[in-house]
Amino acid sequence: MGEMEELRKEAESLKDQITAARKTVQDTTLQEAAAGITAVGRVQLKTRKTLRGHLAKIYAMHWGADSTLCVSASQDGKLIVWDSITTNKVNAIPLKSSWVMTCAYAPSGNLVACGGLDNMCSIYNLKGKDGNVKVMRELAAHTGYLSCCRFLSDTEIITSSGDCTCVLWDIETGTEKTIFAGHLGDCMSLAVSPDFKFFISGACDFTAKLWDIREAQCRQTFSGHESDINAIGFFPNGNAVITGSDDATCKLYDLRADQELNTYQDSSIMCGVTSLAPSVSGRLLLAGYDDFNVNIWDTLKSERVGVLAGHDNRVSCIGVSSDGMACCTGSWDSFLKIWN
Amino acid sequence: MAEAQQQQQQQPEEEEEEEEEEQQSPVEATETDEGSEEPQKSVHKTPTRPLLSMRSMSIVDPDDDSPNMIVYRKIEDIVTLIQDETEGVPIRTVKSFMTKIPSVVTGTDIVQWLMKNLSIEDPAEAMHVGSLIAAQGYFFPISDHVLSLKDDGAFYRFQAPYFWPSNCWEPENTDYAIYLCKRTMQNKTRLELADYEAENLARLQRAFARKWEFIYMQAEAQVKIDRKKDKTERKILDSQERAFWDVHRPVPGCVNTTEMDIRKCRRMKNPHRVKKSVYGLAEEGTPSQSPIHTPLHHCRKGTKEDVEKEILFLNTQLDRHRMKMSKVAESLISYSEQYMDYDQFVTVQEPSNPWTSDDPSLWDLEASKEPSQQRVKKWGFSLEEALKDPAGRELFLKFLESEFSSENLRFWLAVQALKRMPQQEVAQRAQEIWAEFLAEGAPSSINLDSHSYERTSQNLKDPGRYSYEDAQDHIYKLMKSDSYTRFLRSSLYQDLLRKKVCPETEQGRRTSLEKFTRSVGKSLTGKRLTGLMQSS
């Protein structure tokens, strides 16, 4: 046991040294640097559309690469592809397992994926020859629930799981290409960098990790949260990471400064963050909470600039469309709302 | 800690022995694998929550980190303080007609207190926070089953700690049946069942048909116990009990706030918890377990190997170069300032946002080959932006062709396509790319440094989607530093940038209006038609 003690001491000492090293580049704070720029003022978004059709809690949604299609997953056991402008359901896909926790839309628009308590990531082909949507692949290897998945292309997908790992899969062969292990708690969420070379994961060990996809390595780890990280995303320029946690805060970490730049919190916000999405410019952060609201933050000045109150139960997922024209929220109240 | 609560709360009577115990050890005393401390020793570390400077008064076990518990802890701190004699709201007995209403406070009082103590400026926000606390059952309107907070003179009462959600109640239907049953036994208007409760009772009677005698007897026993209590105390306890059931058996249409995210369920402190009865009934048969509870994952604790790996990783981290905060801040600020014009939530977009106006002309414009000035401007932000937009790619390619240096971009595009190809086609395509761009005497020879060239030719021995990664990076950097900057200065780009493109929609509108006027009947005269056209 003595050896363990010594090793832990060594790790702690290194962590202290890293903290000190980080301090040496703190010649200012982001808030100070942003003090001079114009405030964005109150941001008031209205519900433009309500997508009705799910019969139970919605756990996830994801926009397609074009501006109007999106996919949602609900515990009623359905994956629905919506045309969000007309509110029509383009596809309603029945799932084998109703305990679905995540869904994703491929950039090409050809495929969607989902998974959950079945520990698998199921890929569906939307553009099958006979018009029927069928399961194309079932990616099975995780030993824990599937918490999140994101396509790199029609041939590769990354998944995160309650077994504390993330995996890069080759969809054609249905095999694991790379396993990203290192987190000490359930991986809850992942996001791919704009250049598709990296991805970040947030986990129940309260840390976020940046992974190099090709080199299969963890490049950086960010800590500071006091509870599970449920949501994670890249700042649009790819140089910073935003996390949302059960500790009721969101944090902004910069990759090049290797540290936290801002925390977004308010003493009147007690519930955890379930989901987040930055606006196209990165200036605004839209975050969904367990208290049924979405709070909008000015990422640079670290102030709350708006609230979206329209759901009757927890907001479980949020996404900004690819051209930034609208934001979509999904909730345990079984509805999706489009706002701008 | 327990004392402070007892001063404030109306104590549940001794007969309900389970209650007393529960007060002291709210978390069921099953074995936990971490040998948790006694819940009483919940002396909190210095709170990071700015709200309170005092020690946490919450009865939640500090080792319990499940998300619901985290929120309960915060709420319990607030609820304890709000009932404080000096710092809190005035809790009083109100005289009303022939009766007295004990131990109440108005909605407005609570809202005002929240605004003051949580530094909330907007009363609507205070009501939102208050409704959250009410929905969890920590205080409740005395005349309504719906648990929310309104900023008015209606009366609210605080919940007894025995009934707090942090006690991990998962009350069985037998308890609920006993409760509803005993309500019908007492001849009091305030205990009359609401419609939905009557329906619930009927359903339970059918479900428990065989057990009903037992349930009835338990209900009678509870009624006897209740009768012994002081009248005022009974009023208070009855309302608290009702509020408890409003949380666990909510009014149809109301949210059940005890629901947990299934991803977090199995990490609860007490995953094998035995369901206990609110009315102290002994467990019948085997204790039931929630089907979603599974054993705690063992990957939380690090092994020796994990720590060694961590040390290696930390050493690399220590050596990494860190950019100054000022530089990093500047880069974030300038990026967002640059893109603010394109951010719908900050700047209203032209033409109108399709979701607001139901006019898809914005997207027609995007898809068209005649890009708007704003769109052309974006290509100047970075090479990434220019390449992201098909029209931008096309123009850049055109420019390069005019300089007879298009091979770099064509190579880059070919490699991008290669990465997305089906596996069977990859090897062949990779060879084709080699032949076209890199082989001796290639028709579109690109300029690679010898190092990348060597690596790439090695990769080609076993061709895959990422064989050209190095080469592509190198070529990208070349384009970025060389051709891209010249492109931005070129007349081809500058002319397009300065050109004000007339949106197609205007023409589109004119055509449809013409169609309309043509389809209108002969009864309309020419003059009136012209008038119509002018007025639009």
Residues A148-190 pLDDT 10s: 999 999 999 999 999 999 999 999 999 999 999 999 999 999 9
Among the partner-chain residues B70, B332, B465, the one whose CB lies closest to the CB of A235 is: B332
Residues B33, A222: Cα–Cα separation, whole Å: 28
Q: How many CB atoms lie within 10 A of CB B412?
A: 22
pTM of the entire structure? 0.86
Contact A28 B318 (CB under 8 A): no
CB pairs under 8 A between A and B: 248
Q: How far is A92 from chain B, CA to nearest CA, in Å? A: 23
Contact B308 A14 (CB under 8 A): no
pLDDT confidence of residue A3: 87
Judging contacts by C-beta atoms under 8 Å, the chain B residues touching residue A239 are: 328, 331-332
Residues B54, B72: Cα–Cα separation, whole Å: 17
Long-range CB contacts (within 8 A, 24+) of A259-262: A259/A22, A259/A25, A259/A26, A259/A222, A259/B322, A260/A222, A260/A224, A261/A29, A261/A30, A261/B325, A261/B328, A261/B329, A261/B332, A262/A30, A262/A31, A262/A299, A262/A300, A262/A302
Contact B362 A153 (CB under 8 A): no
> From B328, which residue of chain A is nearest by alpha-carbon distance?
A257
Contact A37 B335 (CB under 8 A): no
pLDDT-derived band at B298, boundaries 50, 70, 90: very low
**Which strand ranges, in their side-by-side order, compose the sheet holding A69-74?**
A58-63, A69-74, A78-83, A88-94
Residues B294, B291: Cα–Cα separation, whole Å: 8
Sorted by sequence, the CB contacts under 8 Å of residue A337 that are 6+ apart come out as A47, A49, A50, A51, A310, A311, A328, A329, A331
Give the pair of three-digit tokens for residue B315.
Answer: 């050493």
Q: Does position B362 have pLDDT exceeding 90, yes or no?
A: no
Q: How far is CA B139 from CA B78, B292, B409, in A?
A: 11, 30, 66
Q: Does position B37 have pLDDT exceeding 80, yes or no?
A: no
- CA angle, B334 as apex, B333 and B338 as ends, to 5°? 120
> B89 with B109: CB under 8 angstroms?
yes
pLDDT (mean) for A97-109: 96
Give the pair of three-digit tokens for residue B187.
Answer: 């001849």
**Burial grade of B382 (CB within 10 A; 0-12, 13-18, 19 or more):** middle
Give the pair of three-digit tokens for residue A312.
Answer: 């009757």
Q: How many CB atoms lie within 10 A of CB B25?
A: 14
At A10, the amino acid letter reads E
Judging contacts by C-beta atoms under 8 Å, the chain B residues touching residue A283 are: 336, 339-340, 343, 346
Bridge-based pairing of strands A217-222 and A229-234 is: unpaired
Of the ranges A34-38, A74-78, B273-277, B312-316, which one carries the lowest mean pLDDT score? B273-277
CA A300, chain centre distance (Å):
20
Percent of chain B whose pLDDT exceeds 90: 57
Give residue-wise pLDDT tens across range B475-529: 999 999 999 999 999 999 999 998 865 555 444 444 545 545 554 544 444 444 4
Orientation angle between helical segments B195-207 and B173-185, nearest 10 degrees: 120
pLDDT (mean) for B272-282: 70
Q: Which of A63, A82, A41, A38 is nearest to A233 (CA)?
A: A63
Decide: helix, strand or coil at residue A21.
helix
Contact B328 A45 (CB under 8 A): no
pLDDT confidence of residue B304: 85
Query: Looking at residue B510, what DSSP letter applies?
Result: H
Q: Does position B167 have pLDDT exceeding 90, yes or no?
A: no
Give the pair of three-digit tokens for residue A222.
Answer: 């960010």
Among the partner-chain residues B67, B343, B349, the one whose CB lies closest to the CB of A228 is: B67
Contact B355 A40 (CB under 8 A): no
Among the partner-chain residues A7, A258, A268, the one whose CB lies closest to the CB of B311 is: A7
Among the partner-chain residues A25, A226, A325, the one whose CB lies closest to the CB of B324 is: A25
Of the ranges A51-55, A230-234, B162-166, which one carries the lowest mean pLDDT score? B162-166
Q: How far is CA B80 from CA B19, B68, B149, in A?
A: 19, 18, 17
Q: Does position B377 have pLDDT exceeding 90, yes or no?
A: yes
Contact B342 A280 (CB under 8 A): yes
> From A189, which residue of chain B is nearest by alpha-carbon distance?
B263
> A71 with A61: CB under 8 angstroms?
yes
- CA angle, B411 as apex, B410 and B415 as ends, to 5°? 115
Say how many CA atoms lie within 13 Å of A226 toward its Cβ: 16
